[in-house]
Amino acid sequence: MAQNFCPTSTTAETGGFTVQPQVCAGKPVTITGVPASLANIRYVYQYSGNGIPGGVATTSYIYTNPGSYTILQVAAGSNATGTFACRVVEVLPVALVSFSTTTCSNGVVRLTYKLDAETIRYNFLSINWGDGTPTSTVVLNGSTTTGTITHTYTGTAVNYVVQVSGSYTNACTSVPAVQNVKLQTTSVVDPNILALTSDATKATVDFQGPDGYSLELYQKDAGGIYAPTGLTGTSGGSFSIPANPATANCFQLVAKDACGGSERRSTEVCSLVITGTAEDKQNVLKWQPYAGKGGTFDTYRVYRNSGPPIFSARNQAINAYTDIGNITCNKSYCYILEAIIRNTTTSPTTVRSMSTCVSGSDNGSVVSPTSAYVSVQPNGVNVQATLPTLGLPSPYTLVITRADGAGSAFNPLGIGDDRSYLDATAQTNSQSYCYQVAIRNSCGALSKPTAPACTILLTKNPNGSISWTSASPYSNEPPQNYQVIFIDPVTGASDKKSLGNVTTYQPDPDSQVTQYQIAAINKAGIESYSNPAEVELGLRVFVPNAFTPNGDAQNQSFMAKGLMAFWDTFEMTVYSRWGDVVYNSTDKNTTGWNGEVNGSPATSGYYGYRIRVIDSTGRAFERTGQVLLIR
């Protein structure tokens, strides 16, 4: 194994040299004191203890990294095996010193240094303030990691360069760390409370202060003495502190020079307390006048429900305001009182109270619906109200009453919180109903009801005509026009015919059974419908007098026609000229006789027929005649 040539307790040096025991990283180590008897000298500057590696003849070496290093000297001498010697060199770190500066008033600068694992090894710090004054020296004890030094500049310059170097006893000095310092040139202003806002649990203080000062919030106690709250900051920001919103809380902002100068105080700023009481159609607000000392009172403002100000006054002694602006029963109204305080040299202060809320009261009259109308629907009567655009309570309730026809007493029917109401209990096929609508506010006050609006009752008369009631379905006007609606009983399709102001109609005698309905129309074009009614008239069957089964897709068969939906039974028989039956069917949905007899085309000519129909009411219809078959 390789032999360690540095001397131990069993070996001895046979060479020799001297070297400085400590050197800074980046600085040269120089070999001196070498005996003249040595020749062929080589040096290993980072000897690891393993044998004799190659070396260099130079007597100077620069270590770049801090640490402890062994230098091995190997030379030819009187000893046949050569000579050797070892020395240990400690390479010291030369890291830059970290520091910061704070400028204060009157040319004062405070320098704070912070030492890390390398820079704490320095024995001294040297501070060049850049103004020609003697360098400041700080003796380090090897354990203190931070410190502060204050210096006062007396010259007329504003900008200076500060240099901080670390150094070792009997060793080297580091490269200086450098910072530019700019002295304060503006006059120092007092700290200022920009805003004081109260809520249910705390007060929030927005503030600003002069640079170079530490700021602390002070609060006035029950004895009128200001005491620190422990809330601190610099330059500007916001404090939150627990506070009773039912009492006026007063604060001051205290600024202390970071370099140990005198303190400065803001004006006194006190919170506002506002209370509210609901009276009939008005809310009464009261407060104690603003109590802060210092500054000049400017304006009171009162805000409602996050809207713009509803009140403004420039008299500090005013302590009440009554809000009469459209107060609605049971609606919540929340108010905030604001005060603006002007300061001579700083920005104005805004003080805002905690919100106080009251529930509106309204014991007087309530605005009525503008109008109402009714219309019969398959599931009942729809009552529709038109509400006023101004003065409508919020919230409101619609109160609907009903009478059994015009002139009858009105009785409560139901309530709703929408513009419409459905009366599902009305028997619209047997009688007319009249309705009135009123508005009730949340305090229980009820408006005057609308005039009656009555449903249209449609009835059929023994002579086959139909008639309907004339009471208006609109509370504020009569109908401008009636329309009769014809409804196809098979397809459901409908058609309309305008009737003017008459209240009777005679259906077409040629129709079968048709469903009718009446629609009233007012000036605005709003339609109100009656109940539907079925009117049954005579049964009719239509029979062609000729057909042409020649394959041209027209008139290919012979069949009776009519409103088959009302045919209960049906039979059609066709005879030859000799009385033989050539076709017979009881299916009303058949396409009829196709002009064939036993699968072969019948000859052209006249054929007799007999058609018999019985409708759903049991009435019978029979017709006989001749039809011409043309080929």
Express each pLDDT in 3-61 by its tens digit: 788 877 667 888 899 999 999 999 999 999 999 889 999 999 999 988 888 899 999 99
Shared domain for 518 and 574, answered yes or no, is no
Is 351 in contact with 196 (CB distance < 8 Å)?
yes
Is 529 in contact with 378 (CB distance < 8 Å)?
no
Give per-residue pLDDT as tens, 321-358.
Answer: 999 988 887 889 999 999 999 987 788 999 999 999 99
Cis peptide before 395 (omega within 30 of 0): yes
More confident residue, 241 or 13: 241
What value does the mean pLDDT take over residues 183-190? 76
Q: Tell me the C-alpha distance between 349 and 196, whole Å.
A: 8
Q: What is the CATH number of the domain that holds 250?
A: 2.60.40.10
Q: What is the pLDDT of residue 514?
A: 73
Q: What is the CATH number of the domain that holds 549?
A: 2.60.40
Per the domain annotation, does 8 fall within a domain? Answer: no
Q: Which of 157, 182, 207 is the last residue of a domain?
A: 182
Q: Which of 89, 122, 91, 90 has its CA nearest to residue 26? A: 91
Shared domain for 386 and 515, answered yes or no, is yes
Per the domain annotation, does 333 fall within a domain? Answer: yes
Q: Which of 182, 213, 237 is the last residue of a domain?
A: 182
Shared domain for 117 and 37, answered yes or no, is no
Confidence of residue 484 (pLDDT cuts 50, 70, 90): very high
Dihedral angle sign, alpha carbons of residues 563, 565, 568, 572: positive
Q: Given a cut of 90, is residue 538 above it in pLDDT? A: no
Per the domain annotation, does 6 fall within a domain? Answer: no
Per the domain annotation, does 107 fall within a domain? Answer: yes
Shared domain for 339 and 476, answered yes or no, is no
How many other CB atoms sit within 10 Å of the CB of residue 534?
A: 11
More confident residue, 492 or 463: 463
Q: What is the pLDDT of residue 434?
A: 96
Per the domain annotation, does 11 fall within a domain? Answer: no
Q: What is the pLDDT of residue 346?
A: 81
Shared domain for 571 and 618, answered yes or no, is yes
How many other CB atoms sit within 10 Å of the CB of residue 516?
A: 20
Q: Which of 270, 263, 267, 290 has its CA nearest to residue 220? A: 270
What value does the mean pLDDT take over residues 392-403? 91
Mean pLDDT of the chain: 90
Shared domain for 236 and 332, answered yes or no, is yes
Shared domain for 549 and 574, answered yes or no, is yes
Place of tokens 């640490």: 67
Per the domain annotation, does 5 fall within a domain? Answer: no
Instruction: Name, of 185-189, 216-220, 512-516, the range with top average pLDDT.
Output: 216-220
Residue 386's domain comprises: 371-536
Q: pTM of whole model > 0.75?
A: no
What value does the mean pLDDT take over residues 387-397? 88
Shared domain for 356 and 244, answered yes or no, is yes
Give per-residue pLDDT as tens, 539-585.
Answer: 667 889 999 998 888 888 999 887 676 678 999 999 998 889 999 99
Q: Given a cut of 70, is residue 513 above it in pLDDT? A: no
Per the domain annotation, does 33 fall within a domain? Answer: yes
Q: How many domains does the chain have?
A: 5
Shared domain for 269 and 176, answered yes or no, is no
Confidence of residue 81 (pLDDT cuts 50, 70, 90): low
Q: What is the pLDDT of residue 621?
A: 82
Q: Given a cut of 70, is residue 455 above it in pLDDT? A: yes
Shared domain for 340 and 203, answered yes or no, is yes
More confident residue, 601 or 235: 601
What value does the mean pLDDT take over residues 268-278? 96
Q: Which of 510, 536, 562 is the last residue of a domain?
A: 536
Q: Which of 223-232, 367-376, 471-480, 614-623 has the lowest mean pLDDT?
A: 614-623
Count the alpha carbons within 13 Å of 49 in the hemisphere toward its beta carbon: 4
What secondary structure does DSSP assign to 551-613, as a single string? SSSSS-SB--EE-GGGEEEEEEEEE-TTS-EEEEE--TTS--B-SEETTEEPPSEEEEEEEEE
Shared domain for 225 and 352, answered yes or no, is yes
Per the domain annotation, does 2 fall within a domain? Answer: no
Q: What percent of the chain has pLDDT over 70?
A: 94
Q: Given a cut of 80, is residue 364 above it in pLDDT? A: no
Helix or strand (DSSP H, E) at 83: strand 83-92
Shared domain for 469 and 402, answered yes or no, is yes
Find the radius of gyration of the CA atoms of the chain. 56
Confidence of residue 99 (pLDDT cuts 50, 70, 90): very high
